[in-house]
């Protein structure tokens, strides 16, 4: 039995193809939701929209410091596995949920499969970097999305027989859901925007939104880009970001701030944007696959492939850098190659696990 552990919006989206592959192949599995994202918009709606089975358990841990959140998830997962021990645990990405699931599994001697293994920003000041490195080194199955990711793992001394280049499940998700989003989502009409005539923004990372000078610079840069191109700015704002902007008293004039939207709505907003500005790793990937220019509001990225193919530019938080980076990428060709595979990652992952039985 496979236990699929997830707790955030990106994990739900990226594990959906794995869940569907289990269903298609008749593999026994269960979904354990930690509740790391704890608002309806950022969690339950995704299961409903993507027609995924309801998790058999929701730990409902909510927010807290990294230690509090990780510890609460570990306690909850351990209790569930003492009652119902799985044969393998699958975790995804670099969240506190992935770290906690991996640590519990390793200590209980349950094999761990890490989906999206091998990503590296080489910046240990990012909590996500710590999480992904630890999970990689305690996993038995490392499902890497690219050759670069595989090479990162080999350089760190991980046994090559544990490493599989499957491509990224985000491609599977986009293929599976793009047409559904086209027919079901009316989000552009709802917010009064025209395809290819608006900017889409996301920002949620603690190193950005908890730092007054950085988030102020980001907001200022975004406003300047919007003014320069005369385009509306749509910003589905993470609750944490909204809270900090209010606390810091930052002027967000000219930005249309909306509540977080469901996956299908967000996919439509991404697909039709003229430019995406983000600090999200997953959004960098999705923009690259959709061939929408992306400016990353960080100094580094664990998705270097998006930069290498020409779909992404690192701008940091300086307003002038954000403006100049936006100018450069908006004037470049959008015909870059997709570096993340053919959309069969979910099925490959399940086949690898099945063949190891």
What are 201-228's pLDDT values in tens digits? 999 998 999 999 999 999 999 999 999 9
Residues 276 and 283: beta-carbon distance below 8 Å: yes
- In this prediction, residue 240 has a pLDDT band, given cuts at 50, 70 and 90, of confident
Q: Are 352 and 254 in contact (CB under 8 A)?
A: no
- Do 257 and 326 lie in one domain? The reply is yes
> What is the rounded average pLDDT of the residues 235-243?
92
In a domain, 23, yes or no: yes
pLDDT tens, position by position, 135-176? 999 999 999 999 999 999 999 999 999 999 999 999 999 999
Q: Is 149 in the same domain as 12?
A: yes
Q: How many domains does the chain have?
A: 2
Length of the chain: 357
What backbone torsions phi and psi does residue 204 show, to the nearest 5 degrees? -150, -15
Range of the domain at 33: 2-168+341-356
Same domain for 161 and 251, yes or no, is no
Q: Are residues 118 and 219 in the same domain?
A: no
Residue 336 lies in a domain: no
**Helix or strand run (H / E) with residue 170:** helix 169-184
- Kindly state whether residues 109 and 224 are assigned to the same domain: no
Sheet of 294-296: strands edge to edge?
255-258, 233-236, 199-202, 275-278, 294-296, 312-314
**CATH code for position 313:** 3.40.50.2000
Please give the positions annotated as active site.
204
17 plus 154 within the same structural domain: yes
- The predicted model scores a pTM of 0.90
**Residue 252 placed within a domain:** yes
Residues 299, 257: one domain? Answer: yes
| Residues 127 and 108 occupy one common structural domain | yes
Q: Are residues 352 and 317 in the same domain?
A: no
Instruction: Choose among 183, 113, 58, 45: nearest CA to 357.
Output: 113
How many alpha carbons lie under 13 Å from residue 197 in its C-beta half-sphere? 8
Nearest Cα to Cα of residue 193 among 258, 145, 248, 99: 258
């Amino acid at each position: 039995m496979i236990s699929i552990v997830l707790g955030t919006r990106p994990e739900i989206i990226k594990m959906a193809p794995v869940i569907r592959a289990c269903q298609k192949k008749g593999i026994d599995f269960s979904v354990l939701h930690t509740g790391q994202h704890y608002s309806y918009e950022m969690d339950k709606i995704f299961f409903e929209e993507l027609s995924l089975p309801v998790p058999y358990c929701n730990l409902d841990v909510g927010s807290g410091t990294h230690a509090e959140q990780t510890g609460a998830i570990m306690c909850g997962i351990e209790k569930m596995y003492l009652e119902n021990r799985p044969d393998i645990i699958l975790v995804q990405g670099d969240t506190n949920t992935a770290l906690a699931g991996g640590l519990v599994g390793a200590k209980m001697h349950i094999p761990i499969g890490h989906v999206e293994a091998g990503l590296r920003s080489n910046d240990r000041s990012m909590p996500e970097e710590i999480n992904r490195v630890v999970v990689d080194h305690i996993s038995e199955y490392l499902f890497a999305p690219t050759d670069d990711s595989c090479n990162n793992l080999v350089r760190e001394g991980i046994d090559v027989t544990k490493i599989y280049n499957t491509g990224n499940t985000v491609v599977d998700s986009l293929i599976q859901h793009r047409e559904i989003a086209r027919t079901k989502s009316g989000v552009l009409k709802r917010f009064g925007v025209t395809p290819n005539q608006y900017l889409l923004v996301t920002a949620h990372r603690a190193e950005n939104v908890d730092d007054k000078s950085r988030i102020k610079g980001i907001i200022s840069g975004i406003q300047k880009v919007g003014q320069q191109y005369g385009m509306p700015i749509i910003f589905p704002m993470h609750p944490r970001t909204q809270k900090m902007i209010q606390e810091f008293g930052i002027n967000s004039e000219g930005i249309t701030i909306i509540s977080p939207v469901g996956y299908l709505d967000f996919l439509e907003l991404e697909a039709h944007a003229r430019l995406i500005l983000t600090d999200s790793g997953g959004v960098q990937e999705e923009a690259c696959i959709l061939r929408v220019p992306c400016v990353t509001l960080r100094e580094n990225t664990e998705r270097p492939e998006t930069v290498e193919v020409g779909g992404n530019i690192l701008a940091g938080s300086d307003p002038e850098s954000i403006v100049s980076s936006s100018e450069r990428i908006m004037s470049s060709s959008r015909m870059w190659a997709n570096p993340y595979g053919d959309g069969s990652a979910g099925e490959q992952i399940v086949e690898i696990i099945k063949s190891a039985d």
